[in-house]
Each structure stands twice: as C-alpha cells, then as structure tokens.
Structure 1
Amino acid sequence: MRSIGWLAGLPLLAGAWVAATIAAEPRLESALEVPAGAIASGTGRDGAEPWLRVEARGRDLVASGEAPMQAALDDARAALAAVPGHRRILDRLGLVAEISPFTWAVVHRAPDRLDLIGHRPAEIGRAALADSLGAGLPAGLSLRDAARAARGAPDNFSEGARFLLAQVQHLKPGATAAMRDRTLSVHGEAASVEAYAGLKADLARPPAGFTVGEVGVEPALVSPFTWSASRGPDGIRLDGYTVSEADRAAILAAARLLADGVPVTDTMRTARGLPAGIDARALTDRAFAALALVREGSVSLDGAVLSIRGAAIDGQAVREAESLAGALPAGVSRGTVALTASRVSPYLVTVRRGPDAFTLTGHLPDAEARAAIRATLRPFLYGERIVDRTRLAEGAPPALLDGLTAGIGILAQLAEGEVTVRDQSLRVAGEGLYPESARRIAAEAARIAPPGWRIDVAVEARGATPLRDPAACRETFAALAAEPTLRFDPGSADLKAAFYPVLDEVAGLARACPQARIEVAGHDDPPGTAPPPAPKEAPAPTKAKPAAKPGKQAEKPVPKPADTPAIPDPGLPQRRAAAIVDYLLKAGIPADRIAAAPAEAAADRRAVAFALRS
C-alpha cells in the first residue's frame, strides 16, 4: 500500500517541478541576457555596428554573427564563456569573408551624390568610414555607402580611398575612381580645363604604397578652341589649348627646334574642341613653318582659322607667308596675314667650300644677285655642287657683288674654307693646299677688297700646327726639362717604350715653336751601377770524365777570380742623347733645330733633359 501511495505522488511532484521551472526560466534568461548583451554591444567600437548577436534560451546562450578578424572572434568566445550561470553556448559564429583582389570604388552618380561600392575593410565600420571620407566633401555633395564588409583590404586603405574621392570630384557625373588592391584607376570626363590639369597633377603623386594604373579621362570640351605661338626677344611662348599630352610634346619639340637654344615658355592646357577633320600634327607643322618666317609676332588659331601677324625676318618671308596661308591643312581656313619687312641689319652672306659642295647662306638683294654669284662659282666647280640657302632681303651694302666675287676668287684657291660678308667687312678663312699659297693669299688679300671695305684673311697651310708665342714655348720646354720618365736602363742607349709619348710631345712643340733650337742632354748611370748581365748561353755538351784511379786524389777545381767593379762608360751620355736626337729628326724636326748638348751637360745628370736655345 505504501508503494502504491509513493507512485501516486510522482505526478504531483513532476507537476510541481515543471511549474517551478516555468516560473524560474524568465528570471534565468534575464540574468544571462544582460551580461551577454553587454558583450555583443562591445563589438561595435569605433563607429562600427555590433557584429555579435546573443540570445538566451533558458540557461543556454545562442551566439551568431561574423567577426571582422580572428582576434575579435576569440575575444567574443572567451567573454561569453565567462558569463556566470550559463549551461552551454550554441556557437554559430564565423569570420567575415576574405576578398582577393580587394576592390572598392566611388561612382559620381549624380551632381549631388557619390556612391561607394565593392568592399570596405571589415575592421572599419560603415559609419566610421562615412565620417572619415565625408569630412572634406563640399556642401551639397553626399555619400551613399553600399559597400560590403570584407577582409583583405590593403594597408592605408583610408588614404587611398580619400585620394580617389578627391579625383572623382574633378570629373563629371558618370565617372568612376576605383581601387584594386594597391592599384588605382580613374575613368570619366573632366569637369573643366582646370579640373583636368588638377587631376593630372594629383595622379602624378599617389598616396604612399599605391600606384596609378589605367587613366581613361577625357579633357573638357571648350569652344572656341584657340592656340597661339608667339616669337620675340625673350624666346617663344605657347598659349591656348592642345588636344592631348602627345600633341603637347610634338608642339614643344617643334618650338624648341625653331628656338635653337632660346627659352620656350609653355602655358598650354589640354582640352577637346579642335574642329573635326583637322589633323593636329599637320596643323603643328604648318604653324611652325609660318612662325619661322616671323622675327617678332605670332601664329594663332581661333576655331579653324589660322592667322599670321608681326615683323617678318626679311622681305622674302612676306611672300612665303602669303603662299603658305593659301595651302593650309584640310579643315583650316586662312585668317589674317599681316607681316611687315624691314631692312636686314647686319647684312650677312657666307659662301663655304666643303669636300663636295659650295654652300651659300645669308641674304642677297634680289634674284639677279643670286644668279650672278652662282655664275661666279661655276668656273671653280670640279664635281662639286652648289647648295643655295640664301634669302632675298633689302639692306645689302654697296659693292656687295664685288666683295663676294673677290672672296670667291680666294676661296677657289683653298682646299676648304669660307668667305663671309658682314655689311662692309670681308673675311676669308680656311686651309690652303701648300704653305706658299697660304702666304701668297695673305699678301695679296689687301688689294682685292672693294674701296671702303675691311678685309681679314685667316688662311693656313693644310695640316699646319698652330704656332705658339715664345713665352709659351719657354714655359712648356721648362716643364719638359724636369721630365722624370726619360731614364735609360743601366749601361743601355736603347729607347724604351715609355719614352715615345714624351718624345712625340717634344716634336709637336718644336713644330709649334719654329724660332726655337732644342738641345738634348743624355745622362750617366749612378756610381757603382752595374750593367744588366748578358743572357747566358746554353753550355756545350761535355764528355764524361773517367773516374779517378784508386788511390789517386781527384783534382780540385781552380777558383775563379772575384768580379771586378764596372768601369763607367764616358761616352754613354752622348750615345743616349744621339739616340733621342735621331728619333726627333725622324719625327720631322729640321736638323738645324735639334742637337745633342755638349758632353759636360751630362755631368751628374740621372735623366734625359731638354733645353731651349733661341
């Protein structure tokens, strides 16, 4: 009966336990949710949204979410494990996905809005990134961040993102600035000419650790499209627009070629707007061909109209500019051609004779003068050709043709040279075939110049060595007198290879100092110096001597006398000096200008020396 009563009480006991559990469960869950919720909220530091979500189910905790990095995941698990009163943790946690390559971009979606797409670093919260990037935006321009959190972002992501955000503001809506790992790229259309220049300057200085990849940015469109090249005393100045960086380089190259060393100032800006159908390179070639005719002035383009203004280099240039303006590239029309010509001063003409041609440069007064000069040259042509680069201009001095004719007569006697007229000055310079012809030309030149002209003749024999003044000759030979490298081997009068450079220099100086007579002093050997031993000859084969008879002593070798001291050779310095004199005679020094010094000059001398005797 007792057992039956105990069994009858079990349902009552179970019901009491269930009732107690149901009543206590809300209190247990509340006790777990408070510390677990604090842990979850703590995962939202630095502006990021909390990534951890925790739910209490009785005494169990259900944890879910994606941690931005492994350390954050480990910290969250450890904190949940330390919550008092929990029975177990249902772990549904993971890591944010790692993306490679890591991509992010900003799109200029509308005039007042920039969209962020791709992936953002998981460790940077959406709100924190928006605050960082939006801090410098102009009023009225907003950000919309649609990027997803991911791992794998490059270091200094924020610097690269801010850089791209700044570049996309130089562009019109529809443009994109993107990051692919550490490579930055920009595509779109510049908002203005100034914006394009700013973009190009910025892209040349990317943030540290990043490189600039593809840049597909169109310059801004301008109307009218203008360009000009001006020439003046300070050089050449380039203004207006150019269609591309390649076109700018071509224009600069043409300007520097024409400038020939004078400054070129470039203030051009890149833009679109050159009328369709115009070849930019052909336009550049024609523009600088026109500028070459201008001494001071400009060549300018306004839309499709090319104009030439200023002072021409000479009268011929005025006619050439008119002709050039009538043959412009397709699509370009003639504008104003207003060139004035003044008298050329100084008036220069040059006739140069080279190996295979006579070349004429400078100015002549008219076509008749040009024909007369060519006729004057014709009798002196022996297979040579005439290269005529002269131009026609006013300002020729009186008797120009007489002066040139006289100069050409001298030029015909030269192997190479030139005749130059500068106003009423005539200069003839060059090389004659023989010394006699050079002297004769110099003597007769004063008689051939027109009345009132000055003449200067600088004609030398071909291959002649420039002469030095006596003072320079003495200084040079004084240096050679102390030359330490000319020292013969003991007992020898043979020249060594080290002597030849010095001796060749002496020969050259002798040709440049025709008034000087050179003496060569040999040298003796220091006391006690023995001459080098003569090479030993191989000993002749000898027959073997029979062995000594038993009981007979072998013969002892007779000792040789000791070596005797070397006897000085009194004629050695003279032989050495004679060897050097012989070399210099063969090098072209006349016999009356080179000799060996007296014997006493070698006393106590230990190296060869040279002396100058005028």
Structure 2
Amino acid sequence: MSAWRLCFIPGLVLVTILAISALVSTAGKVESDIGARVDQQLALDGQPWASAGISGRTVTVMGTSPTLLAQRLAVESAERVWGVARVVDGSGIIPLQAPYTWSATREPDRLRISGFVPSEEAKIAVLATASRELPTLAIEDDLVLARGQPVGFLVLTDFALRRVAELAGGSVTLTGNNLSIDGTAADDARFASAARAIAGGAPGGGQFRNVRVLPPLSRSFTWTVTYDGKSVEQTGFVPSVAVRRDISDALAVALPGVPMIDLTQLASGGPDGFSYAAVFAAYQMARLSAGTVTIDGSKLSIEGKAKTVADYEMALAEIEARRSKRAIGVGIGSVDLLPARVDPYVWRADRTPEALVLTGYVPSLQAHDDVMGAATRLFPDVAITDHVRIADGDPKMDWIGALKYALEQLSLLEKGSVALTGRKYDIVGEAISTSAYSNLLEALKKTLPASMELRRQAVSPGAVSPFVFAAARTPEVLTLSGYVPTDEVVQKIIAAARPKFGPDRIELRLLLAGGAPDGFVDAVDTALQAISRLQGGRFDLVDSKLSLSGVAVSEGARNAIEATVRADLPDGFELAPSLMVAVGGEPLSGSECQAALRTESEREKVDFDGATARILPSSYGLLDRIAAIIQRCPVATVEIGAHTDSSGGTRKNQALSVERANAVVNHLVADGVRRERLNPVGYGGSRPIASNSKASGRAQNRRIEFGIVGQ
C-alpha cells in the first residue's frame, strides 16, 4: 500500500469521530432547548401540571391533568413551540368524583383536612390558607386529587377555613357547593365574627346546608338576676340571643316599668332545661320586693323577701310544684324566702326514706336547737336538711311542742309531710306500716296538743304485696276479708254488696293497707255480683288475679256468670274461674215448693230498673235460687205474677206488669227451667197489698209473686 494511503485512513477515522461528536453535542443542545421552551410555554399557558419529555424533535407531554380540557390545551401549547416536529400525549387525568366532598375538622392540637382537591396547586392553596388561619395547629393532610369540584371551590374552602379558625372545636364540610358548619366558637369576638360572615351568605356560588355555631363554652355557667326594689340586673351567661330575649320578656311581665340592666354574655355549656328554669325564675321576681335568683350548673336557687304573705305562699307552692315535677336539667337548689310579714307563722317537714327537709320559722336559736334535737332523735338514719330560720311572729301557742308532736307523727310515715300554718295542722303521706296507720288515725281523732287544729289529713296506709281481698258466702252471711286502701272504700264495697245479698249479714275482717291495684273497687263489685248468683260462692283477689268458685244453678247460668265477669272486670285483671253446676236436690211436693218460693220472695224482692222491665243484676241471685227451687218441683206449674203500684195509669201499668213477668220467665228459662212450666201473668195495679198513698206502700205493691197453680 502506498504511503499516502497509510496516512489518509487514520485521518479519515479521526474526522469521522469528530463529526459524530459534534452532531451528538448539537442534538443534545437542541433537545434541551426544545424541552426548556416547551416547559416555559406550558407554564405560560397555565398548565403547570404538565412537563415535556424530548426525543429529538418529538415532545411527549407528561403529568396528570386535572381536566380533559387541560390535557388537550397542554398538547396544543407544546405544538406551538418552534422546532417541535411532533407532539405525543403521554399524560394521565385525575379521576372524576361524585359527590365531591371536602372537610376540615378542628381538634385541640391539630387540624385534619380530608376529601378531594382538583389539583396539586389547589391542594397547596388550601394548605397555605389553613397554615395562615391556624398557624399554631399541626395540619393533617388527607386530601386526594379528583375532578368534579364545584365552581368556586377555592373560594368556598377559604371561607370554610376562616370559619374553622373561629371555632374552639368543630368542623366544616363541603358537599358539592353545599357548606355545613358545626362547632363551638372560641370566644365572644369570634362568635360575633362567625355570625356576621354566615349572615352574609356563602361565597363562590355556594349555599349553606346545616349551620350550628354555638357560643363559646363557659366552664362555670352561672346566671343571676338581682332585684333591689328599684331596678333589676341580669348577669352571667345565656346560651343564645333567643333565650336572652325570653328572659327579658319574662322580667318585663314580672316587673313592669322597672329599669333593667342586661350584662349577660352568650356562652355554651349551660345545663339542659336552662331556658325554662330561667324564665320560671324570672317570673318569681314578681312575688318579691327584693331578691336574687341564680342558676349555677344544674341548680336553681332563690332567695329574697316576698311582697306579701300570699306571694310568699304562692312562690313556695310554685317552687315545690316544680320540684315535684323533677324537671330535667335544672332542679331546685336552695330556697331562702322571707315573708314580708310572718303571719301566719309557718313550718314544714318533708321526708323520704333517705332524707328529711325542714323549712319554716322558729322564734329563737334555742327553739331551733330543740326542734333539730327532736328530729335527730326521731330520724337517726336519715339525712336531715335544715332550712329553718329564726323569725318573729310565732302564734300564741306552744309552737315548739306542736313541732315536736308533728315530727313524732312524721316518723310514722314512710314518706310524706307535716306542716303548720299558725294553728292549722296538715299531715300528708304514706304510713310506714298498717299498725302505724292505725295509730295515726287514732291520734288524729283526739284533741291535738299545743292548741293545734287539724286542717288536712291525707294519710294512706303502708303498701303491702301481694294485695289480697276475699269474699265468701255462706247461708245468710257474707264474709269480707283481706286488705282495703281506705275506710271510704270499705263503705263503697258494703254499699255495692247490700242490694246483691239482701238481708244477709256482712261480716268484716278487713285491714287497711296501700298497694291496691287500679280498678280495685270495680273488680270487687264485679266479683260480688258473681258470687251473689253462686251457692257457696267465693272469690279471692290477689293483686289483679281473680279466682272465682261456687255452684251455679245451671250450665247456662255458669256461662252467663263467667261471661259477665270477663266483660265487666277492669283492664289488666285476670279471671281464673272454677265453677260447678248444681245437681238437683230431693223433689218437693207442691206445698213444700210453694213454701220455699214464699220464703225466698219474702227475704228479697225482684228489683227493676225504674219504670222498665229490665231486671237489675242485684236480683239475679234471687232468681237463680227461685230457679233451683222450681227445678225441684218437677211436675208443678208456676205462675209468675207481676204487680205494679198505681202510678202511671191502668193500661200502662198492665202492659208493664206483663213485660216484667215475661222478663222473669226469660231469666228462669236461661237458668234451665222449661218454659212450659212457667205461666207469666201481669196484674198491673189491680191487687195492691198496701196503700198507694205513701211511697212505702207503693214500694210493697211493686212485686213479683211465685205461686204453684198446677201439679
């Protein structure tokens, strides 16, 4: 090979290498230049989410687009850059979210933001606002990129975060363009700021859904109204403007024309039922010439001086009525009311099994100690609350002796009260036992000591369980035994039994006791009616369970008795019947049969409901016994003769007597007597047995007679 060729080949290789290096260097600069210019264009066109990937003059748009439109605009921006030969869309798009939600929750030491944001830039903006509005809190970011946000999203989140900054605790929630706010304001200034902002409406096309911003929380929620006779001042806390207005309205009614100073502040933390208790207390000011009412936590306390004795008594009555209702939230605390003039002089003791509360007046400290000593001795295991005050005006009587006597009687009550208003003595409650009840009644029947005068006695016997009452019928005797709640109930039961059992003697073996079920008297009346129709009838009432036994004249009578008892028993009572049907006795001759019928008719009479043919239920037992006698006269025909008095006219009385005779026949047939053996006859007033000029005579003439007319 020639020498020049040997020199040329290495040089050619060197030139080629240098050329390639130059081309590579130039291409890299071109790609960097294009990439920089594309990124710059994307930023200028408002697509900062996108970036350019360069391969020669081919540009690949990369990143996650917030919208389909932004994705297309980013490609168009890259295509407009000089030197770009081709643009490839390599971007993605964030998911669509519906519903689109966002929330911020304030806790004591942190702010938790969760939900969705449309872009990284929006997320940065939201977090920046949160840091600006709540710089002292740690921020927890649980935000996720998603599209579907409402118009004005950042305006709404900015507004929401400013509201969160006004809360001591709470949350804001955005669902679509609906904004909800729930929490407690940090202080009065921020409560007012939140109220003004909310009153202006939601910005950015949003709207409020649920808004509840409570006043700032008060750890010691107290409220006081003080009236000095000239002006009234209200201080402390109230839970809302509406409650403040209600209290002011009540004070204006209670103290018309009196200047009012309102220094209350809005706050959360008040007890349940505050507004009702405060309005109640405000109305009580009408009864005071001066005084103070205070709600401290869950207790309402009242102290002051009543305008008149009537105001004093009414205020105490209303306070006690509220106390007895056990109002939810705010109960009655201390009550320290002084009457304008203590006349009449009053004192009261209320007891429960666990507590004794004394209120009223005594004339001296020594008298106070004497009464407290008696209370401690009589109630050794009971918590005693002393609200007794020393005051002048005690009546001309042994006041302390009267109080000690009242306490002794109170010790016989399980719960109740004793009270003195001057000489007038009231005792109300439930006795601790049956013997205690009897002792109390005996003592109250006597002349009371210390010039006391009994005004009201409402003592009930102690409750027993089970509450048992029984009635048993033997020939000519009805025995009542068990428990009854009062003497008045005993009289009602006797009054109910008397027409059902005619001349039968009623023997009482009863004890007074509490615990009678509701409907007790009606249940006893129903059961008495049943055994009035039963031979050897008996019932036992144990609480609300009624057991019934005895012998009915017939199957029909037994069914009727059971059906009537089930229908007439009060609700809640249960019947357990054990009734049998009578087996006929030895047959009677005609004369024996007539004698037996006459004996029953002379012992009792069939009674009707006024001037009608409806037989009163109290006569069912008599007719059942008549039916039993007729059943023992198997071949006799019995005339049922109905008679009236002279009232009402001859034709009317004749018709009524026929109806009554037929009514008796119908009852006897229902008791099992064959109808063909009965002959109903109406005599009207044609056969009087006494003068119709007197009521007693007319009563004798109104009768049903039973006679044997054939064998």
Give the TM-score normalised by structure 1: 0.43
Give the number of the structure whose residues are more often strand, by fraction.
Answer: 2
Give the TM-score normalised by structure 2: 0.38
Larger relative contact order (CA 8 Å, sep ≥ 6): 1
